[in-house]
Amino acid sequence: MAPSIRLSPAARSLFDEPLAIAVQGLGPRQQVTLRTSLRDETGELFQASARYQAGDDGELDLARCPALPGGSFSGLEPMGLLWALQPQKPFWRLVKRDVQSPFLLQLEVFEGHAERPGRLLAQAQHERAFLRDGVRRVPVREGRIRATLFLPPGEHSFPGIIDIHGLGGGLLEPRASLLANHGFATLALAYYQFEDLPQKPKELHLEYFEEAVNYMLQHPQVKGPGVGLLGFSKGAEVSLAMAAFLKNITAVASLNAPVVATCIPFSYKDKIIPALPLCEHKAKATNSKFLDYSDVPDDPFQAPGNQSLIPLEKAEAQLLFIVGQDDHVVKSEYYATEVCKLLQAQGKGNFQILSYPGTGHCIDPPFFPLYHIGSHPVFHKRAVLGGELRAYSKAQVHAWSQIQAFFKKHL
């Protein structure tokens, strides 16, 4: 019997779902190298490889066989060939612009454990999709709002979430589309550098975000009485400001949030929260010559920085702070801990912190590759974002399930 790759699901799976990988038809205890490849929408290549030895029966099941040293990872890691994917072009990030098309994953089995691939024994292709059958993608251009709404299959109403990204600008849909597969009506919201939105806003008006909340609550398929917010980095900071100033925010999941206004001040009606001063000269060069910017902002818990603090004591929403202990962009663990101490001192208990070791600034849904050195969102120089491959892969999976459980509970 010629060797073949067996996948489950066979042809297509959602990007955040596990994929079972096995090889059958090998010789007893045969040594092989497995390689995965994926090209992004610009054609850049991501690859991972691992060395294995088949069982006495010539079967190789990644759920039962540990990877041997010498590849992208070792040990029992059934999903290692996906989470260990790394760009062949240095410092490149895997981004999905068009969620209506899947990524195509190539799997190959090569003979032996040599540095250069041996003879090709088997290959397979698999689609990693962002939309489950029946999920609807609805572009939204209502009033000032520029967004995309993802609705789960069916005609009834669903818990509503607004998904807000960080300082890169534009409209990013992967996280919102994946959440919709899990039963949430999710609005991916742009707030600058998209269509007719400001390119470089002097301040962020919370009235714009209030319009998005009202749009969701007036939608016949969004179950009220409030909405949830999921924000990353600057988007998490926006989400916390919304919870402090706006009505009808029930739950906020914040990924590595500054708990202060950074870079762009906030305004709401006649109130302005000034941006925390940043001192670029406080950036530190690391051994690898990349810059660590974590000490660049003033301490928001000491004057004069504290006038930039978001007044979270006003928030009625449940708050979930998800922080990477190795975040080198925002001191997110310190910020979350200190702000929760302030809330506790005011007699509030509407908060919870999930803290992940070996996890940097970027916390994406499961199986997105680690992006640990990249362009700093403010200074646009090569910066340490933080994170370590295996720890990060575990954090992604755990945080993603916790985010869904949090919204299911409170919405």
Q: Which helix (H) or strand (E) holds 4?
A: strand 4-8
CA separation (Å) from 320 to 120, 172, 216? Answer: 47, 22, 21
One-letter identity of residue 206: L
One-letter identity of residue 40: D
Name beta bridge partners: 205.
267
Which distant-in-sequence residues (6+ apart) come within 8 Å of 104 by Cβ? 38, 39, 125, 126, 127, 128
- Rounded Cα–Cα distance for residues 52 and 69 (Å): 9
Tokens describing residue 166? 């960080």
For 226-284, the DSSP string reads: EEEEEEETHHHHHHHHHHHH-SSEEEEEEES--SB-BSS-EEETTEEEPPBPB-GGG-E
Radius of gyration of the chain (CA): 23
- Rounded Cα–Cα distance for residues 237 and 332 (Å): 11
Closest CA to 172 of 276, 110, 261, 95: 95
Q: Find the catalytic residue in 13, 72, 177, 233.
A: 233
Q: Find the catalytic residue in 327, 364, 376, 393.
A: 327
Tokens describing residue 41? 């929408």
How does 11-39 read in b/e, with b if 16+ C-beta sit within 10 Å? Answer: eebbbbbbbebbbbbbeeebbbbbbbbbe
Spatial contact of 252 and 228, defined as CB atoms under 8 Å apart: yes
Q: Is 361 a catalytic residue?
A: yes
Q: Is 49 a catalytic residue?
A: no
- Rounded Cα–Cα distance for residues 275 and 293 (Å): 17
Q: What is the DSSP letter of 300?
A: T
For 172-213, the DSSP string reads: --HHHHHHHHTT-EEEEE--SSSTTS-SS-SSEEHHHHHHHH
- Rounded Cα–Cα distance for residues 195 and 100 (Å): 20
Q: Is 233 a catalytic residue?
A: yes
Active-site residue list: 233, 327, 361
